[in-house]
Amino acid sequence: MLKAKILFVGPCESGKTVLANFLTESSDITEYNPTQGVRILEFENPNVASNKGTGCEFELWDCGGDAKFESCWPALMKDAHGVVIVFNADIPSHLKEIEMWYSCFVQQQFLQDSQCLLIAHHKPGSGGDAGSLSLCQESLQILHDTHDQADKAILENNAEYIQKQMPPLNKLKLVHSNLEDEPEEIRMEFMKYLKNIISSMSESRDREEMSIIT
Ligand SMILES: Nc1nc2c(ncn2[C@@H]2O[C@H](COP(=O)(O)OP(=O)(O)OP(=O)(O)O)[C@@H](O)[C@H]2O)c(=O)[nH]1
Ligand SMILES: [Mg+2]
C-alpha cells in the first residue's frame, strides 16, 4: 500500500484548513481558528490507485501559515511527496508570499514542479470587505511608490498574469477554488493531482525494485 504525505502550506487565513476539511470530508466551515503548527488528516480515496491496482492512503498535513511556526518547517517538509500552496487570490500580498513558500517547501526540498499545486482560493465576500479594501489601498500605495508592472497586476488580482510573470512559478499548475459556486471543480483538480503524485510514486518504486534485481 502506497502512502503519500501531502502538505497544505501558504499564508495565514488563506483557506488551507477549510479546503483540507472539504477535500477530506472532515468538517464544515467554522469561524477562523488559526492552525497551531499542523493538523494531520488521514484519508483514502477509492478512485486513486497505484499502477499495480493496490490502494493508497494519504496524509494531508494542514500546516499553520504563521511565521512563528517556522522552526517546525523542517519536520513538516520531511519525506513529503507533494506540496499544495493555498493563497487568497483577493489579497495582493499573498501573491508575493507564494514565492517564499515555493522556494522553501519545493525548490529547497528538490521536489519536482509536478509535485506542487497552486490553489487560488476564493472566499465569499472577499474583496469587498473593509479588510481587503485597506489591503488594496496599501498595495495602491506600493504601486504609486514603485510603478512596478507586477504590483499593478497584483492590484488587479490577476493571479494568472502574476504567475506567468514570476518564473519559476510559471511552470506550476494553478487552479482556482470556489467552494460556494463550484465545489466539485477543486475536488476534481485535487483528485487529478493526487493521481499524478501516486503514479510518480509507483514509478519510482518500480525503478527501485528493478534496480535491486538487475
Ligand atoms: N464561507 C466560507 N468561509 C471561508 C472559506 N474559506 C475560508 N473561509 C473563512 O476564512 C477563515 C480562515 O480560513 P482557514 O482555512 O482557517 O485559514 P488557514 O489558511 O487554515 O489559516 P492558518 O491556519 O492560520 O494558516 C475560515 O475560518 C472561514 O471563516 C470558504 O470557502 N467559504
Ligand atoms: Mg489553518
For 61-81, what is each residue's pLDDT tens digit?
999 999 999 999 999 999 999
CATH code (residue 67): 3.40.50.300
Q: How far apart are the first and last CA of the chain?
A: 24
pLDDT-based confidence at residue 134 (cuts at 50, 70, 90): very low
Which one, of 197, 207, 206, lies nearest residue 57 by Cα? 197
pLDDT-based confidence at residue 1 (cuts at 50, 70, 90): confident
- Choice from 7, 9, 13 to test ligand 1 binding pocket (greatest atom count within 8 A of CB): 13
Strands 38-49 and 55-63 come out as: antiparallel
Lowest mean pLDDT among 59-73, 93-107, 123-137: 123-137
Q: How far is the CA of 201 from the CAs of 4, 51, 54, 167, in angstroms?
A: 8, 9, 12, 26
35 Cα–ligand 1 center, Å: 10
33 Cα–ligand 2 center, Å: 7
Per-chain mean pLDDT for the chain: 84
Q: What is the residue with the minimal CA distance to atom 6 of ligand 1?
A: 15
Which tens digits make up the pLDDT trace of 146-179?
545 666 566 556 667 666 667 778 889 999 999 9
**Atom of ligand 1 lying closest to residue 21 CA:** 15
Tell me the residue range of the domain where 201 lies. 2-213
Q: What is the residue with the minimal CA distance to atom 26 of ligand 1?
A: 32
Cα atoms found within 13 Å of the Cα of residue 50, Cβ hemisphere only: 16
- Backbone dihedral angles phi then psi of residue 151, each to the nearest 5 degrees: -65, -35
CB 168, CB 108: distance < 8 Å: no
More confidently predicted of 27 and 136: 27
- Choice from 12, 21, 23, 29 to test ligand 1 binding pocket (greatest atom count within 8 A of CB): 29
Nearest ligand to the CA of 10 is 1
Domain tally for the chain? Answer: 1
Distance between CA atoms of residues 20 and 197, nearest Å = 17
Lowest mean pLDDT among 21-25, 28-32, 36-40, 131-135: 131-135
Contacts of 149 (CB under 8 A, 6+ apart): 165
CB 162, CB 93: distance < 8 Å: no
pLDDT-based confidence at residue 125 (cuts at 50, 70, 90): confident
Which one, of 194, 202, 185, lies nearest residue 60 by Cα? 194
The three-class DSSP label of residue 106 is helix
State residue 78's pLDDT score: 96
- Ligand 1: which residues within 6 Å by Cβ? 12-18, 29-32, 34-35, 64-66, 123-124, 179
Contacts of 39 (CB under 8 A, 6+ apart): 17, 20, 61, 62
Q: At 124, list the grid cell.
A: 465569499
80 Cα–ligand 1 center, Å: 23
